[in-house]
């Protein structure tokens, strides 16, 4: 289960999808080679053969059949495999922010462990408060974490729905880049402190002391905000009151009310 979650965090396709993609790329390469190449001569003979061959099995690949179907029904799609790969890259899930946002090793380790359901440990272990099962639901009411839970809940805007765990909701609200400062800068340190408290209550040893939680990301966001150039606003020219008897303002108003007419057409001359 952990490997599946890690692949989902990094937006990696499964092995079967990569296997089919490599097969389709090999087939496309073999069919686009010149007619005098060796593989082209071999595949031509294999297509005429009625025996069961590996080449025939490759051509019966699901991905290759779909690519040929796209090529037949959509002539404008010159290279279905190549363009489908680009479209798939645009539609696939992006990298999880917990893998990209700047933080310490301990903080990132807890963020990833929560994402892949390794924090708190599974199966549930005994909590330091005396509870038999220190699972995720218990961490919302545990005496060791209740203060941080209430603080994080008050900082979240909008508030998380009842069917979603508070920490999961906070992780889903994280930006993809620290260059987009928002309200997450207010609750980011509280989230990391809460994850450390969860790690401590389910650990059999005392965790080492750490510096201020989330300070690396907050400092980078503030530095980027300070160094970001501001857009220059154009200052309109000062308006001047028209002098009495000056016909220029009246002339401008008459010009602006004249309907726009197309230029007269010039007859073409015969240059012969």
Supply the DSSP string of 74-140, one letter for each residue.
-TT-S-HHHHHHHHHHHHSPPPPGGGTS---HHHHHHHHHHHTT-SS-SS----TTS-S---HHHHT
One domain, residues 69 and 27: yes
**268 found inside a domain:** no
**End-of-domain residue from the set 65, 91, 117:** 91
One domain, residues 76 and 135: no
**47 found inside a domain:** yes
Q: Do 214 and 189 meet the contact criterion of CB atoms below 8 Å apart? A: yes
One domain, residues 144 and 204: yes
**255 found inside a domain:** no
**240 found inside a domain:** no
Run of H or E residues at 170: helix 166-172
What is the model's pLDDT at position 83? 47
**11 found inside a domain:** yes
Task: Encode the chain (272 residues) as per-residue pLDDT tens digits.
Answer: 455 566 667 667 778 878 877 877 888 787 788 888 888 888 888 878 878 888 888 777 777 777 777 667 655 545 555 544 444 444 445 778 888 888 999 999 999 999 888 899 988 899 999 999 899 999 999 999 999 999 999 999 888 888 889 999 999 888 877 776 678 888 999 999 999 999 999 998 899 988 888 888 888 877 877 776 655 445 555 555 555 555 545 544 554 454 545 545 545 455 44
The tally of domains found in the chain comes to 2
**Burial of 103: CB neighbours in 10 Å, binned 0-12, 13-18, 19+:** buried
One domain, residues 101 and 222: yes
One domain, residues 55 and 113: no
- Nearest partner of 112 among 127, 126, 95, judged by Cα: 95
One domain, residues 37 and 156: no
**End-of-domain residue from the set 76, 91, 106:** 91
**269 found inside a domain:** no
State the residue range of the domain holding 75: 2-91
One domain, residues 197 and 134: yes
Contact partners, residue 184, CB within 8 Å, separation at least 6:
173, 174, 175
One domain, residues 112 and 189: yes
**End-of-domain residue from the set 69, 91, 113:** 91
One domain, residues 160 and 190: yes
One domain, residues 148 and 76: no
Check: pTM over 0.85? Answer yes or no.
no
One domain, residues 52 and 125: no
**59 found inside a domain:** yes
**15 found inside a domain:** yes
One domain, residues 164 and 137: yes
- The answer to whether the bond into 158 is cis (omega within 30° of 0) is yes
């Amino acid at each position: 289960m952990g490997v599946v979650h890690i692949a989902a965090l990094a937006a990696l396709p499964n092995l079967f999808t990569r296997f089919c993609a490599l097969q389709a790329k090999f087939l496309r390469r073999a069919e686009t080679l010149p007619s005098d190449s060796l593989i082209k001569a071999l595949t031509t003979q294999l297509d005429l053969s009625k025996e069961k061959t590996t080449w025939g099995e490759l051509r019966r690949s699901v991905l290759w059949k779909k690519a040929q179907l796209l090529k037949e029904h959509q002539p404008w799609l010159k290279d279905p495999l190549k363009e489908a790969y680009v479209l798939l890259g645009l539609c696939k899930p992006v990298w999880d922010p917990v893998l990209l946002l700047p933080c310490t090793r301990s903080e990132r380790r807890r963020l990833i462990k929560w994402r892949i359901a390794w924090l708190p440990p599974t199966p549930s272990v005994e909590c330091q408060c005396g509870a038999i099962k220190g699972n995720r639901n218990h961490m919302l009411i545990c005496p060791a974490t209740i203060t941080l839970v209430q603080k994080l809940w008050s900082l979240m805007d909008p508030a998380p729905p009842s069917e979603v765990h508070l920490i999961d909701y906070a992780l889903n609200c994280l930006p993809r880049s620290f260059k987009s400062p928002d309200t997450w800068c207010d609750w980011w340190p509280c989230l990391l402190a809460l994850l450390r408290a969860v790690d401590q209550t389910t650990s059999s040893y005392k965790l080492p002391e750490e510096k201020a939680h989330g300070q690396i990301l907050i400092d980078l966001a503030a530095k980027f905000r300070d160094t970001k150039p501001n857009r220059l606003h154009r200052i309109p020219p000062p308006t001047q009151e028209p002098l009495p008897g000056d016909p220029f303002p009246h002339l401008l108003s008459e010009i602006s009310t004249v309907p726009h007419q197309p230029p007269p057409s010039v007859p073409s001359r015969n240059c012969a």
